[in-house]
C-alpha cells in the first residue's frame, strides 16, 4: 500500500515538473528555413504603398551580395558590406494578405512573412532601423525573469510538499 502512495507522489512531482518545463520545443518559428545568417523585415505589418526595411545580419555566414524577393515588391539586392535595404510595397497589395519575403545569400535562403494592413498611408512611412533577429538564442534574449523562476519553484515545492503531507497523514491515520 505504501508503494502506491510513493508512486503517486512521484507521479505528481514529475507532472508538476513537466508543466513547468520551458516551451522551447513549441515550434512557433515563422521563418521557413534555417540559414547561416539572420534576417528580418521591419515592420512586419505594413499598409500597401508603405516602405519596409530589409535587415540582414551577416556575421553568420553571408559574405557576398544578398537578394531579397517577394510578390509584393521588386527584387532588392543588399550589397556586400551592407546590412540593410529598403523596399516599397506595391499599392495593389491585398489588405490582410501575408506575403513571403525570401532572403538568399551564399546558396542559402530563408523566408519570413510580411502582412499587409488595411488602409493606405498618406506618403512614405519612415521606418526606424532596428537590429536584426536574435537568431540562436532560443527565446532567451530577455534573460532570466526571477519572478517566473521563483513562482515555478514555489509551485513545484508546494505540490511536492502537499503530496508528502497527504501521504504522511494517511500513514499516521492507518497506524492508529
Mean pLDDT of all residues in 108-133: 68
| pLDDT in the model for residue 125 | 52
Greater pLDDT, 96 or 137? 96
Kindly list the distances between the CA atom of residue 116 and the CA atoms of 1, 19, 41, in Å, as whole numbers in the listed order.
63, 37, 12
Mean pLDDT of all residues in 27-52: 73
Greater pLDDT, 130 or 165? 165
Kindly list the distances between the CA atom of residue 63 and the CA atoms of 56, 105, 108, in Å, as whole numbers in the listed order.
11, 8, 12
Q: Please tell me the distance from the alpha carbon of residue 86 to that of residue 105, in angstroms, as a whole number.
A: 17
Kindly list the distances between the CA atom of residue 143 and the CA atoms of 89, 102, 135, 139, in Å, as whole numbers in the listed order.
35, 30, 15, 9
Instruction: Read off the pLDDT band of 28 (50, 70, 90).
Output: very low
> What residues does 108 pair with on adjacent strands?
105
CB 68 within 8 A of CB 102: yes
Q: Please tell me the distance from the alpha carbon of residue 24 to that of residue 156, in angstroms, as a whole number.
A: 19
DSSP code per residue over 145-160: -HHHHHHHHHHHHHHH
Q: Please tell me the distance from the alpha carbon of residue 176 to that of residue 173, in angstroms, as a whole number.
A: 5
* CATH architecture for segment(s) 38-117: Sandwich (2.60)
Instruction: Read off the pLDDT band of 126 (50, 70, 90).
Output: low
Mean pLDDT of all residues in 118-143: 57
Greater pLDDT, 127 or 161? 161
Q: Please tell me the distance from the alpha carbon of residue 9 to that of residue 18, in angstroms, as a whole number.
A: 14
| pLDDT in the model for residue 163 | 92
Tell me the domain boundaries of the chain: 2-22+145-175, 38-117
Asked if residue 81 has pLDDT above 70, the reply is: yes
Residue 63, all three cell numbers: 559574405
Amino acid at each position: 500500500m505504501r508503494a502506491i502512495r510513493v508512486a503517486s507522489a512521484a507521479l505528481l512531482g514529475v507532472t508538476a515538473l513537466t508543466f513547468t518545463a520551458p516551451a522551447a520545443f513549441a515550434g512557433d518559428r515563422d521563418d521557413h528555413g534555417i540559414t547561416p545568417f539572420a534576417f528580418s523585415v521591419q515592420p512586419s505589418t505594413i499598409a500597401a504603398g508603405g516602405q519596409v526595411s530589409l535587415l540582414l545580419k551577416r556575421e553568420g555566414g553571408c559574405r557576398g551580395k544578398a537578394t531579397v524577393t517577394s510578390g509584393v515588391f521588386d527584387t532588392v539586392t543588399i550589397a556586400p558590406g551592407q546590412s540593410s535595404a529598403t523596399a516599397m510595397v506595391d499599392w495593389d497589395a491585398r489588405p490582410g494578405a501575408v506575403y513571403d519575403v525570401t532572403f538568399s545569400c551564399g546558396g542559402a535562403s530563408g523566408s519570413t512573412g510580411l502582412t499587409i494592413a488595411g488602409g493606405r498611408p498618406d506618403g512614405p512611412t519612415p521606418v526606424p532601423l532596428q537590429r536584426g533577429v536574435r537568431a540562436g538564442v532560443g527565446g532567451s534574449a530577455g534573460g532570466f525573469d526571477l519572478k517566473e523562476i521563483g513562482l515555478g519553484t514555489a509551485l513545484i515545492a508546494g505540490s511536492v510538499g502537499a503530496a508528502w503531507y497527504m501521504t504522511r497523514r494517511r500513514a499516521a491515520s492507518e497506524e492508529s
